[in-house]
Amino acid sequence: MKIKSFLGLLLLLTVIPAVGQMKKPTAKNMVFSASKAKVGDIIEITVSMSPAPGMHIYSEKSTCAEDVGYTRASITFTGDHFVPVGKAIGVGDKMRTDELAELDKVECKTGVFPGQALFKQKIKVTGSIQKMVCAFSGQMCDESQCVKIEETLKTDNPVIVEGAAAGENSPVGPTDTDAKSNSKTDTSNSGGSKTRSSYKAGNGNCNELKYTGSLGNAKSETTNKGLGLVFWLAFTSGLLALLTPCVFPMIPMTVAFFLKNEDRKKSIRDGLVFAAAIILIYVFIGTLVSKLVGPDAANWLSTHWIPNVFFFVIFIVFAASFFGAFELVLPSSWVNAIDKKADKGGIAGPVFMALTIALVSFSCTGPIVGSVLVESAKGGLSTPIVAMLGFSLAFALPFGLLVVFPSYMKSLPKSGGWLNSVKVVLGFLELAFALKFLSTADQTYHWGILDREIYLALWIVIFSLMAIYLMGKIKFPHDSDVSYWSVTRLMLVITTWSFVVYLVPGLWGAPLKSLAGYLPPMHTQDFRLGSAENKAENTTSNDTSVSAATCQIPKYSEQLHIPHDIKGYYDYEEALKCALAQKKPVLIDFTGHGCVNCRKMEEKVWSNPDVLKILKNDYVVVSLYVDDKKIKLSEKEQFTGKFSGKLIKTLGEKNAEIQACYFNSNSQPLYALMTGNEVLLQHPGSAETFDYNPDKFKAFLQNGLREFKKSQP
């Protein structure tokens, strides 16, 4: 029997008792964004389905083939005097691996609503709508069963065209979405109803849609691929920590302590318990940081000047410690108290010994662990835990392996001056990374103190000094004389000088694409030589004139920039108006000053000639900076965000509210294609979606253009 047939039988067996229990959506509703309209107006229908307790509903989105995976939602509308604009789109669903497809050895994803299922359908009114019928077909599942959903929602006279007789089908005229003053009916918990104005996306009220969760819960977690990178970077940091003078000499001493026991099995047991305890200690630290920080605090850590300047200072302190200015040590009473408990027998002894090693080595490992945690704390709830798991595995690895295979101890290199050299090199790296935090605050708040050429000049000096140190021409306290160069030292000298030479052309405008995201954006550089294109971009980055791609001088164009001389907007409503006027689709670029992946996409993908041509000629581009802290909204533009519940005062807060409301996300970059009437043309994509591949992003844009042409009357 084929897997799919067998699975179908299992599902049938689970559906039968479900039908007996009459499992159905607990609530269903169809709401219109306006009860009165003019001919040609575009209004929005919101269909909501609340699943049975413990169950979830699948959306219409899927990367699977039509006959593979779970049943996707299908919504059709029938009635009189309207024309659908695009298709019904699920809002607030999450893409996740389709387990049903996996059983057929197919890897794909399907959209799932974590709570209430919401779908949006836009229609163009051609006359008074006397009757509307919505037919909903889909699937509702939990861990043990799946139930097919077939629901019909009906309503009479939902939309009246003023001045038209009931049922009159007037000719479609031009629309003016900006002049509309729509209303909608909202049924309160008490059963009454009230009419209130509908909301545009610009004021952050999500068109009155009710989303599950909060802004914090909408935080997009790091993808599996991103977590894998975090793990390996932390693992590398753990290996570097082993090579410091506080840790390396303790490896043979600690292993010898366990091997002195005549009972070989007990020695191996104690050594493995010791290694496991080290892992648990650091994973506990990561879990603690994850709980204390949380998603809201992680976003604050990434963008606000206070934590970024604080981390800049902390990294400078870490660097000074590695250079030998002072040692970061924990209170001796802590170390002594734990060390006494390490003499206990049984499993407790190795556990307390692991804690002693962690405390004693803090002067070397503290800055490394701190650096890893600072970076990982900005990535979401799971990132600090994964980071500490990677670090601790590398840190515990030699202790565990050498207890099991003690003969390899002879192959360990001898301790010496090279251990202090590792510390000093780490100090130079801490110094270089410190600038990234200051740069984030500088870009977010428009201070203008760390432009691209200044940043590059500092890096060139730092890494030049590091190369000179490796050559033995600079000495720090506790350094030994370098009487000769080992092969490893020679390779490090060559690598460091090569990196310095690579950086130098950046002072005159070389793009340095391999460092995209870690350097300030190109528009902050005052002087650039090179091609005519670079010169044109340099002279027009602050250009506030009207171009073929814009309908008027864009707001905020003196403070904000779009790379590669792309003319566009920084205000959501302005972009939509221009898109309607020019009859073009809109590319919404949710970005940020401190967004590393945004800069990578711009340098590696947007710079592609084919992609750049489409962006400049075929789309109205709007870059919405979600982390901008300086640009204030006027008093009449301020509003209380429906999604965040906060008073929105800055442009960055407004853009973040739009992203959270309409796309249930607050991670950048996020790219969305839509019409000027706010009809999505493609599923939004992130840097991970396109994998920094220009061809994938080009296909995304081209598909959007094809859908846009289909959507036009």
Spans of all domains in the chain? 3-189, 224-450, 542-711
Which pair of tokens denotes residue 15?
A: 């559906």
Omega into 669 within 30° of 0, i.e. cis?
yes
Which pair of tokens denotes residue 404?
A: 């099991």
CATH code 3.40.430.10 for 542-711: no
Distances (CA, A) of 699 to 110, 118, 166, 685, 711: 21, 28, 45, 12, 18
The pTM for the full model equals 0.52
The confidence band for 225, taking pLDDT boundaries of 50, 70 and 90, is low
Residue 213 scores a pLDDT above 60: no
What does the pLDDT look like over 86-116, one tens digit per residue? Answer: 889 998 888 888 877 776 677 888 889 888 8
Distances (CA, A) of 215 to 57, 76, 92, 199, 258: 21, 31, 12, 19, 51
Beta-bridge partner residues of 161:
37
> Other C-beta atoms within 10 Å of 411: how many?
6
CATH class of 3-189: mainly beta
What's residue 504's pLDDT?
Answer: 93
- Check: CB of residue 395 under 8 Å from CB of residue 285: no
Percent of the chain whose pLDDT exceeds 70: 75
Tokens 């179908």 belong to 8
What does the pLDDT look like over 391-442, one tens digit per residue? Answer: 888 888 888 788 777 777 767 776 667 778 888 888 898 899 889 888 888 8
Could you give the CA distance from residue 327 to residue 321 in angstroms, rounded to a whole number? Answer: 6
Residue 25 scores a pLDDT above 70: yes
Could you give the CA distance from residue 465 to residue 471 in angstroms, rounded to a whole number? Answer: 10
From the centroid of its chain, how far is CA 125? 38
Name the nearest CA neighbour of 296 among 372, 217, 368: 217
Burial (Cβ within 10 Å: 0-12, 13-18, ≥19) of residue 638: middle
Could you give the CA distance from residue 553 to residue 546 in angstroms, rounded to a whole number? Answer: 5
Could you give the CA distance from residue 624 to residue 668 in angstroms, rounded to a whole number? Answer: 10
Name the nearest CA neighbour of 60 among 76, 72, 48, 75: 72
What's residue 296's pLDDT?
Answer: 52
- Check: CB of residue 450 under 8 Å from CB of residue 438: yes
Name the nearest CA neighbour of 669 among 300, 301, 220: 220
Residue 571 scores a pLDDT above 50: yes
The confidence band for 170, taking pLDDT boundaries of 50, 70 and 90, is very low
- Check: CB of residue 100 under 8 Å from CB of residue 69: yes
Which helix (H) or strand (E) covers residue 224, if one does? helix 224-242
The confidence band for 343, taking pLDDT boundaries of 50, 70 and 90, is low
Percent of the chain whose pLDDT exceeds 90: 15
Residue 224 CB-half CA count within 13 A: 2
Beta-bridge partner residues of 660:
none
The confidence band for 205, taking pLDDT boundaries of 50, 70 and 90, is very low
What mean pLDDT do residues 675-698 have?
86
Under DSSP, the state recorded for 262 is S
Which helix (H) or strand (E) covers residue 403, if one does? helix 383-404
Residue 548 scores a pLDDT above 60: no
Residue 143 scores a pLDDT above 80: no
